[in-house]
Amino acid sequence: GEDVEQSLFLSVREGDSSVINCTYTDSSSTYLYWYKQEPGAGLQLLTYIFSNMDMKQDQRLTVLLNKKDKHLSLRIADTQTGDSAIYFCAEERLSGGYNKLIFGAGTRLAVHP
Amino acid sequence: DGGITQSPKYLFRKEGQNVTLSCEQNLNHDAMYWYRQDPGQGLRLIYYSQIVNDFQKGDIAEGYSVSREKKESFPLTVTSAQKNPTAFYLCASSASGTNEQFFGPGTRLTVL
């Protein structure tokens, strides 16, 4: 269908790894993004991956891309309480001559002691 | 500091009134966007502008209007024709040739 899909909620213990999953729809998407939103705030770009890559690592963040299954994941190592937020994946999709971002509904990550 | 600002943070209006939300950026970005966020949903694109004096409708433009008279500014007017205007509104900008969008802090609009 048209939607970018994510599970709505994830709970992890502080210090464990978090894995947030996303499925997208357009196999021709060139870039896929992960954004973080803290309560009452705007979105902060965390990382992105180009479609010809399988993996990208940036400090505690690892992005894995499976183009065949149109599956994207974000792994946060050593999850901290400050990582509690909503995480959005977004795919870049060509529409009307313009590359627009299509966002998932967001995954709320709760980190507990 | 370079960034993107939105004002006010909270806005209350009576039903039937038009209201304008401000968005300013000093990142020298050509493109600017307005999104609407509702609880449990992703962001939906209202309007976007790739260059000064030009803008296009997004997916949910009905009941909204915009202008882009200056590169730095992209105000959004929520008109009385918008049937369900209560939401969190986010403005974003990006440089030419990239879709790496930078977001403002948002304005929460409540229509009473």
A12-28 tens-digit pLDDT:
999 999 999 999 988 77
Nearest to B85 by CA among B8, B11, B32, B22: B11
- Residue A77 near residue A16, CB atoms below 8 Å: no
Distance CA B33, CA A48 (A): 19
pLDDT tens digit sequence for B86-101:
999 999 999 987 878 9
Dump pLDDT digits (tens) for B27-42.
999 999 999 999 878 8
Residue % of chain B over a pLDDT of 70 = 98
Per-residue pLDDT in tens (0 to 9) along chain B, 112 residues? 669 999 999 999 998 899 999 999 999 999 999 999 998 788 999 999 999 999 999 999 999 999 999 999 999 999 998 889 999 999 999 998 787 899 999 999 999 8
CA Rg, chain B, in Å?
13
Average pLDDT over residues A81-106: 88
| E strand or H helix at A65 | strand A61-66
Structure token pair of residue B7:
């004002």
Q: Cβ neighbours of residue B53 under 8 Å, at least 6 residues apart?
A: B68, B69
Nearest CA in chain A to B37: A105
A29-86 tens-digit pLDDT = 789 999 999 988 899 999 999 988 899 999 999 999 999 999 999 999 999 999 999 9
A55 within 8 A of A64, measured Cβ to Cβ: yes
**How high is the pLDDT of residue B1?**
61
Decide if A103 touches B, using CB distance below 8 A: yes
Residue of chain B whose alpha carbon sits nearest to that of A89: B42
Instruction: Give contacts of A 1-30 with B, CB under 8 A.
Output: 4, 8
Give yes or no for A40 touching B (CB within 8 A).
Answer: yes
CA nearest A34: which of A25, A24, A26? A24
